């Protein structure tokens, strides 16, 4: 969310940014919010003048009433002044109501106007214009056929989609045996990997209030993703970023405690609306999954350095598991409205002969901080807004697809990399039972 002062002073910059995001329908909102801001400030000014006048008139009434004890003619003058005070009070009530209405309308518009993107973001209308920046590891295509990921899992009696369908419907799964253990091993390894980077491990609430949802994501994303608890002001989180950033709502953060570097585990719940192709069935696009996340709250001048560190952590983790990846810079039209800059880390799929998304790293500038009223008290005593960043450490359902495809052997076995073996009880190879 942008600062209204910035919008007021830089309308052309805001409009140009909207054009870069290919959201021209939002252009009239800039002039609308500026006009509402003008009316709001005028109402505030008039209200302040009326309060000052009321105080002066009230004092005058007291003086006239005192004088009326000796000079009854002053009583009529006092009553006239009282009538003026009453009229001013009625107008002041109207203005206070207008102030509240203007503030609500301005906030509603600012929640929709997109954040200013970083100058380095490539310009394009959608994800087709995203730009590959760098590859890490050599993509390998084996000389044997790689089955669909659920077929690989079924060889180990490791997945049951049919039972999950009967119990919960489409978009759910049962993981079992070695595959379930592998799932948990990856999460545990990712947790310890981030602790080794100096991050504090956290398990957050899995449900959050509506004002937190509004603070951490756009209305469009909220409607597309979030499950609401019927009859309560609670939503199931779509990622632990939501509750981790929400942790700082209405808080003043001491500057000497920055950066806040947190890594959080949570289940994630998403609607995932719409039809998807065959490669996105199975456990690729689902309503419930688990994830290890990384969150940073830092000084504004440090956020881009943290952004660079965070996506590189993802690369390092995946490469330690022997999975080739690439960094893909997200273009302007593919950025969510709160994001300043974002990139995806994509893993190589030998089956599909292409890369697919497994991590998403984002710098949101001060947008979430402004929405949530997060502030930092600087050494000089002045308040400022911190920057917030998030990145997927690992989301095992998708990560498992990349892992199984890249570690699959011709005999159907799956090799376990050395870094993961302690989390698998020392197992070096998974041998299929089917």
DSSP for 254-322 reads EGGG-SEEEEEEEEEE----S---GGGTTTTS-SEEEEEEEEEEE-GGGHHHHHHHHHHHHHHHHHHTT
What mean pLDDT do residues 228-240 have?
94
The closest of 152, 148, 161 to 179, measured between CA atoms, is 152
Whether residue 359 has pLDDT greater than 80:
yes
Q: What residue ranges define each of the domains in the chain, with the CATH number in brackets?
A: 4-110 (1.10.287.40), 127-430 (3.30.930.10)
- Residue in 243, 238, 208, 209 with CA at minimum distance from that of residue 222: 238
pLDDT category at 60 given cuts 50, 70, 90 is low
Count of CB atoms situated within 10 Å of the CB of 409? 14
Least confident stretch, 9-18, 52-61, 161-170, 257-266: 52-61
The per-residue pLDDT for range 196-230, each reduced to its tens digit, is: 999 999 999 999 999 999 999 887 777 778 999 99
DSSP E strand boundaries for 109-211: 131-136, 159-160, 174-175, 200-202, 207-208
Confidence at 284, pLDDT banded by 50, 70, 90: confident
CA distance linking residue 41 with residue 330, whole number of Å: 38
pLDDT digits (tens, 9 = 90+) for 104-156: 999 999 999 999 999 999 999 999 999 999 999 999 999 999 999 999 999 99
Q: Give 306-331 pLDDT, tens digit per residue.
A: 999 999 999 999 999 999 999 999 99
Question: Going by C-beta distance under 8 Å and a sequence separation of 6 or more, which residues neighbour residue 381?
Answer: none
Per-residue pLDDT averaged across 42-70, rounded? 73
């Amino acid at each position: 969310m942008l600062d209204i002062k910035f919008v007021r002073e830089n309308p052309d910059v805001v409009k140009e940014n909207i054009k870069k995001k290919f959201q021209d329908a939002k252009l009239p909102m800039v002039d609308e919010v500026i006009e509402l801001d003008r009316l709001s400030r005028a109402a505030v000014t008039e209200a302040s003048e009326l309060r000052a006048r009321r105080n002066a008139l009230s004092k005058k009434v007291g003086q006239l009433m005192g004088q009326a004890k000796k000079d009854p003619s002053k009583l009529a003058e006092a009553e006239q002044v009282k009538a003026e005070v009453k009229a001013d009070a009625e107008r002041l009530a109207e203005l206070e109501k207008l102030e509240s209405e203007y503030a609500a309308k301005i906030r509603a518009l600012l929640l929709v106007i997109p954040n200013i993107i970083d100058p380095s973001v490539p310009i394009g209308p959608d994800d087709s214009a995203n730009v590959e920046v760098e590859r890490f590891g050599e993509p390998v295509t084996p000389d044997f056929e790689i089955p669909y990921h659920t077929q690989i899992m079924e060889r180990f009696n490791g997945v049951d989609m049919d039972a999950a369908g009967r119990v919960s419907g489409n978009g759910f799964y049962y993981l079992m045996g070695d595959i379930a253990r592998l799932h948990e091993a990856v999460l545990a390894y990712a947790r310890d990997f981030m602790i080794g980077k100096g991050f504090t491990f956290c398990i957050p609430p899995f449900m959050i209030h509506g004002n937190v949802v509004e603070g951490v994501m756009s209305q469009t994303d909220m409607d597309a993703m979030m499950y609401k608890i019927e009859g309560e002001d609670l939503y199931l989180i779509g990622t632990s970023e939501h509750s981790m950033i929400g942790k700082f709502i209405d808080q003043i953060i001491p500057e000497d405690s920055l950066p806040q570097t947190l890594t959080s585990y949570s289940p994630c719940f998403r609607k995932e609306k719409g039809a998807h192709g065959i490669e996105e069935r199975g456990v690729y696009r689902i309503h419930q999954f688990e994830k290890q996340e990384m969150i940073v709250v830092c000084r504004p001048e440090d956020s881009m350095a943290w952004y660079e560190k965070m996506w590189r952590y993802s690369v390092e983790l995946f490469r330690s598991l022997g999975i080739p990846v690439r960094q893909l810079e997200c273009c302007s039209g593919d950025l969510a409205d709160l994001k300043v800059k974002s990139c995806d880390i994509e893993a190589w799929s030998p089956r599909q002969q292409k890369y697919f998304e497994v991590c998403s790293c984002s710098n949101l500038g001060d947008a979430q901080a402004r929405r949530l009223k997060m502030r930092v008290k600087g050494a000089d005593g002045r308040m400022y807004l911190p920057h917030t960043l998030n990145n997927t450490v690992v989301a095992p359902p998708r990560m498992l697809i990349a892992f199984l495809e890249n570690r699959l052997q011709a005999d159907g076995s799956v090799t376990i990399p050395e870094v993961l073996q302690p989390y698998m009880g020392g197992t070096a190879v998974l041998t299929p039972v089917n």
